[in-house]
Every structure is written in structure tokens, then in C-alpha cells.
Amino acid sequence: MRRIEGRTIYVATAATILALIGGFTIGSIGLTNSTQNASGNFVSSSGAVTGVTYTSTVLGATSNPAPSASTGSAGAPQVVVTGANNFCANTCTAGDFAQIVTYTFTTSMTGSIQISIQVTASSGGGSATIYLKQAGTAVGGTVVLTWDVGTSTSTLTAVTLGVQQCSGATCP
């Protein structure tokens, strides 16, 4: 039988503890920029527009290339196209931490809609309003809104979403 020295046991124990702490630290980096949104915590959505459905809100990284801001306004909403419509709700930089909100729309969506998003965080929060409309020929797809939280550690505490039908140059 081979005898293991006490010093070897101490070194192995220290290495195990460091690995555990290191693993916890790596996990914590993600959590410091998380809404725990895998289960929908801290995210509230409201509004009911026929043909538009709130799908999900997840934490991720701003895509590369980063999406452009919507050019839509209440008077001239952005036209949605078939398939994926990707917009930045604020200023996006590729690779930054981002809150990514997805809506699904069907061909039954008519007229113009207003989507409002408000992010409350220890840094990088704010609000934005995006105006969209159905194309001349009814199409279906998704609207993905990216809220760039930035590169620094930030604790997200709330994401509030609203969708409503628009009429004319303003929304009710």
C-alpha cells in the first residue's frame, strides 16, 4: 500500500477549492448581467394587438454586425418584412451584453403598432419606442429588439414591454 503525504493532500485540497471558487466566479460574471430571464423573472409585458405575440426576452450578446436602430416614427412606421426583423432599441455595439426581446407577428397583424421597451438596470438602462407596420402584402415573421446594456457589469432589475395598435401620426 502506498502512503500519501499530508502535503499532497493539502495541495490537492487547495487546488479543488480554487477550482470551485474559480467556477463560481465564472458563473457569477454571467449572473451579474442577468435578469434570470430563462424563467421570465423581472420581465413584464402588456398590450394585446391581433397578430402580435410577445415571444421571449433573453440575455445574450449583441450580434456582429450589430442591428441598426429602427427608422420608424409614429407618422412613418418601419415596414416589417417576411422573416426576421432585427432592430436595436438604443445604440448597439457588437459583442456587448444585451437584453434581446422577441415578438412574433402573423399575417393577421394590420395597420401600425407601437412597441415600447424600458430597461431598469444599475447601468445602461433607459427606454425606447419603436413604430412598425405591416407591409402592403401581409407577411409573417419576428421582430427582435436588442437593448445594449454595455460592457461593464450591470444588474438588470426590470424589463417592461408594451405593445399597442397605432392610428395616424400618434398612438393612443
* Amino acid letter for position 61: A
At 34, list the grid cell.
442577468
pLDDT at 6: 56
State the Cα–Cα distance between residues 142 and 132, nearest whole angstrom: 12
Instruction: Determine, yes or no, domain membership for 26.
Output: no
Enter the pTM of the model. Answer: 0.74
Whether the pLDDT of residue 108 is over 60: the answer is: yes
Integer Cα distance of 61 and 149 in angstroms: 9
Most confident of 22-31, 117-126, 134-143, 147-156: 134-143
pLDDT at 120: 83
Least Cα distance to 160 among 142, 145, 141 occurs for 145
Q: For residue range 5-21, what is the model confidence (pLDDT) as tens digits?
A: 655 555 555 555 444 44
Residue pair 50/109 in contact by the 8 Å Cβ criterion: yes
Cα 137 to Cα 44, 49, 111, 114, 140, distances in angstroms: 31, 18, 12, 20, 10
Asked, for residue 28, whether it belongs to a domain, the answer is: no
Whether 65 is covered by a domain: the verdict is yes
15, part of any domain:
no
**Domain around 68:** 37-166
CB 102 within 8 A of CB 55: yes
Residues 168 and 172: their CA atoms lie apart, in Å, by 10
Binned at pLDDT 50, 70 and 90, residue 128 comes out as very high
Lowest mean pLDDT among 2-16, 17-31, 61-75, 78-92: 17-31
Number of Cβ within 10 Å of residue 3's Cβ equals 5
In contact, 83 and 141? CB cutoff 8 Å: yes
Q: Say if 5 falls within a structural domain.
A: no
Task: Find the range with the poorest average confidence among 26-30, 95-99, 102-106, 146-150.
Answer: 26-30
Q: Does 161 map to a domain?
A: yes
**Residue 50 resides in a domain:** yes
Whether 36 has a pLDDT exceeding 50, the answer reads: no
The answer to the question of residue 110 being in a domain is: yes
DSSP SS3 for 61:
strand
> Which helix (H) or strand (E) is 132 found in, with range?
strand 126-133
Give the total number of structural domains in the chain.
1
State yes or no: pLDDT of 168 exceeds 50. yes
